[in-house]
Amino acid sequence: MIYLIEYMVPVILLLAIIISAVRILREYERGVIFFLGRFQKVKGPGLIIVIPLIQKMVRVDLRVVTFDIPTQDVISRDNVTVHVSAVLYFRVVDPERAIIQVEHFFNATSQLAQTTLRSVLGQHDLDEMLSQRDKMNADIQNILDEQTASWGIKVTNVEIKHVDLNESMIRAIAKQAEAERERRAKIIHAEGELQASEKLLQAANVMSQNPQALQLRYLQTLNDISSENSSTIIFPLPLEILNALKKSKTGPEE
């Protein structure tokens, strides 16, 4: 029995070492292998062997990470304080650099995203923040992607979710929008009056050159008045009659 135990102990230890040396990496995982503290290679996916005490493996997930950037207090270029929240999408494209070049690449990318968000939005006015989100999303993404490239990180997208204002600023924007609508309405009304006056001037020029057209317009106006419920009756008096009456009063010329 003692001999059997002495035989089994090495076998059990060997099995334990083999089991501890086996690693299984999924399709979206990679293992960064260090040999006595020095980088050796990137392995995976599938079954790999890591020699205990000599080699060490660090798992790296290659899937896209969705990170909610905490709400940031941003002062716009026109000195308006807003609360901005965004979401960041990034993934590891180089496991070696993601482990060796930066400590905790997830936290580093998170902190960089927050500072970049404040920096980029602070260069724009409030109106641009509200109306040009696509442009600012692209600017933030390009800056982050450029700075995280040395870490083996690829920033795939940045989306600004909310730009929150205080109540006083919301009321001020509402007043500004109302004033803008009134300004546009006045401009449209003035343009209509200008076009109408130009048409009336053209009509007056035509009628002044053709007395028959003026008389027809006069009769049309009387017809329009008679069609309404009015107790006033207007009779047209040709200008020739008025001239004849004027001559009869003054008498024949001597």
Do the domain assignments include residue 199? yes
Q: What is the pLDDT of residues 8-18, one digit of tens each?
A: 777 777 777 77
Do the domain assignments include residue 147? yes
- Same domain, yes or no, for 6 and 89? no
Give the HSE-up count for residue 207: Cα atoms under 13 Å, Cβ half-sphere.
12
Query: Any idea what the CATH number is for the domain that residue 143 is in?
Result: 3.30.479.30
Helix boundaries (H) for the chain: 2-21, 95-100, 105-121, 126-131, 133-148, 167-209, 211-226, 239-250
Final residue belonging to a domain, choices 108, 143, 165: 165
Percent of the chain with pLDDT over 70: 76
Percent of the chain with pLDDT over 90: 39
pLDDT for the residue numbered 166: 74
Cβ atoms of residues 40 and 48 within 8 Å: no
- Same domain, yes or no, for 204 and 119? no
As given in the structure block, the two tokens for residue 91 are 């993934």
Domain containing 183 equals 172-245
Give the HSE-up count for residue 93: Cα atoms under 13 Å, Cβ half-sphere.
11
Rounded Cα gap, residues 208 and 187, in angstroms: 31
- Same domain, yes or no, for 27 and 69? no
The C-alpha angle with vertex 74 and arms to 80 and 68, in degrees rounded to 5, equals 140
Q: What is the pLDDT of residues 37-76, one digit of tens each?
A: 999 999 989 999 998 889 999 999 999 999 999 999 888 8
Q: List the chain residues with pLDDT less than 50.
A: 241, 245, 253-254
